[in-house]
Amino acid sequence: MVGIKVFKVLQALFVAHVSHLAVLDSLGSDECKGFPAEIVEVARHQVANELGFQYDPTSRAEWTDLRPDFVEAYVRQAEDPEINLAEWIRTGYPLLAGIRNEFQPSGTFPPVNERERPAAEAENLHNDLVSLSNYASLTEWPEAAKEQIDRLSREQFIERFDSYDEMAAALGETPILSKLALISKERPDGSYKHRLIVDLLRSLINAHMPQGERIILPRIGDAVEDALRLRRAGPGFVKFTVTDFADASFMLPLSSSERRFVAFEAFGKWYVARALMFGAKSSPTLWGRAAAFPARSAQSLFDDQQVSLQLFVHDTIAQARGSKRQRHIAFGAILLWWCVLGARVASHKGIIGSAVDWIGAHIVQEAKFVTITVQVELLEAVLISVKSVQSH
């Protein structure tokens, strides 16, 4: 199998250079930066040779670190159903599916084709620039909003212009502006997580696009079943590793022909998206479809009696059975394979151990049992909500 062959390449790399596995020991710390670029490049050359193509580091997709060459080669060799992903990485994702670009279902997820309004009518949308204004959250949290916008611009996920006319000239057509909002959520440590939302619902752009597909997500019970299966499969301790993909949907470039539909103004500057943004109805579907590939291909590296992997949106949980060295090589192979594909892994948020938190649950590998409890932070949030309702 193709996945097993890829694993053998990565395994040989770790066996020859055991020091590379030190990354696993620092997962979850601010010091953990993931695998060094030179190691990723060595892995890419060796994996490309196994997949039967000549790796060219200079041949890159525009506006994304994802590597369509590796996706394409793996899909071809493994006969994977995701035949559109490589081309979408190269040319951009069809956000509005059916307006200017066709959305091709992969057959992996159930299709959802309903639209509130005909696709062709999206071309007639227009803005009243005089009355258009952003949500109050931008003025309530101006520094946080500016920081988020500056980061997206710096990472080239959005393109900045000094005037509306300059933006329109760059697009070669009239942009459709949407209101911008900032969603702020307090973390357990008292800090805040901020997220920008381009409101394509209020600008009616969402009404013209279908969801595309219905992404099927795993449940906590699936991870528990995986844990029990691995424990029964043979000797060796079972450990977890939890990681997530950084910048998630921002990794996915937007089709250049649809950029006019994802534009906004903030703090006297004008912006057009280069990547999928929060606020589009189809963004979660497109990300779910894209993320399923690295998850599915990573699982194919192993026998499912040795390693299992589940992905919930952008949060992954992998489990491996065996000695510490065997588990580290398995976890390392998963992370290095994702680096080969060009995916951004938030190594500083990762963890390896017998007890982990994943999608609201605390899962523990006990000596004789697998226990699962609701995360304390989730219970506290529910309690706060209940008290807030009672007070009214």
Summarize pLDDT for 147-181 with one digit per residue, the tens.
999 999 999 999 999 999 999 999 999 999 999 99
Residue 95 pLDDT: 83
Over residues 82-106, the mean pLDDT reads: 87
Please say if the pLDDT value at position 211 is more than 90.
Answer: no
**Cα separations (Å) of 21 from 5, 187, 262?**
20, 31, 41
Residues forming a β-bridge with 311: 316
User: Is 80 exceeded by the pLDDT of residue 89?
Assistant: yes
* Residue 99, pLDDT above cutoff 80: no
236 and 193 assigned to the same domain: no
Extract the tokens encoding 185. Answer: 């959520």
Check if the beta carbon of residue 93 is closer than 8 Å to that of residue 74.
no
Q: Is residue 387 part of a domain?
A: no
Q: Do 100 and 116 fall within a single domain?
A: no
Q: Comparing C-alpha atoms, which of 276, 279, 256, 266 is closest to residue 161?
A: 266
Token pair in block for residue 375: 């995360």
Same domain, 254 and 130: yes
Residue 263 resides in a domain: yes
Whether residues 65 and 34 fall in one domain: yes
Q: Are 336 and 206 in a shared domain?
A: no
> Taking Cα atoms as reference points, which of 43, 78, 36, 45 lies closest to residue 297?
78
Q: Is residue 389 part of a domain?
A: no
Check whether 378 has a pLDDT greater than 90. Answer: no
pLDDT, tens digit, 9 for 90 and up, residues 262-320:
999 999 999 999 999 999 999 999 999 999 999 999 999 999 999 999 999 999 999 99
Environment class of 118 (CB within 10 Å of its CB; exposed 0-12, middle 13-18, buried 19+) = exposed
> 173 and 266 share a domain?
yes
- In this model, does residue 1 exceed pLDDT 80? yes
Rounded Cα distance between 360 and 351, Å, is: 15
Which range is least confidently modeled, 44-48, 49-53, 118-122, 340-344?
118-122
Tokens of 300: 């194919």
pLDDT at 33: 87
* One domain for residues 74 and 94: yes
Among 229, 259, 282, the domain boundary falls at 282
pLDDT at 383 over 80: no
**Which H or E run includes 218?**
none
* Together in a domain, 159 and 222: no
Average pLDDT of the chain to the nearest whole number: 92
| Predicted TM-score of the model (pTM) | 0.93
b/e burial code for range 328-363 (CB count within 10 A of at least 16 → b): bbbbbbbbbbbbbbbbbbbbbebebeeebbbbebbb
Q: Does residue 291 sit in the same domain as residue 195?
A: no
Domain assignment of residue 143, given as a range: 111-213+250-282
**Matching residue, tokens 């159930």:** 110
Residue 194 and residue 130 share a domain: yes
Q: CA-CA distance, 341 to 368, in Å (whole number)?
A: 38
Task: Tell me if 14 is assigned to some domain.
Answer: yes
Condensed to tens digits (0 to 9), the pLDDT of residues 308-353 reads: 999 999 999 999 999 999 999 999 999 999 999 999 999 989 999 9
Query: How far is residue 66's CA from residue 340's CA, in Å, rounded to a whole number?
Result: 9
CATH number for the domain harbouring residue 17: 3.30.70.270
Query: Given pLDDT bands bounded at 50, 70 and 90, which one contains residue 376?
Result: confident
**206 and 127 inside one domain:** yes
pLDDT given for residue 392 in this prediction: 62
Q: How many domains does the chain have?
A: 2
In a domain, 289, yes or no: yes
Is 311 found in the same domain as 230?
yes
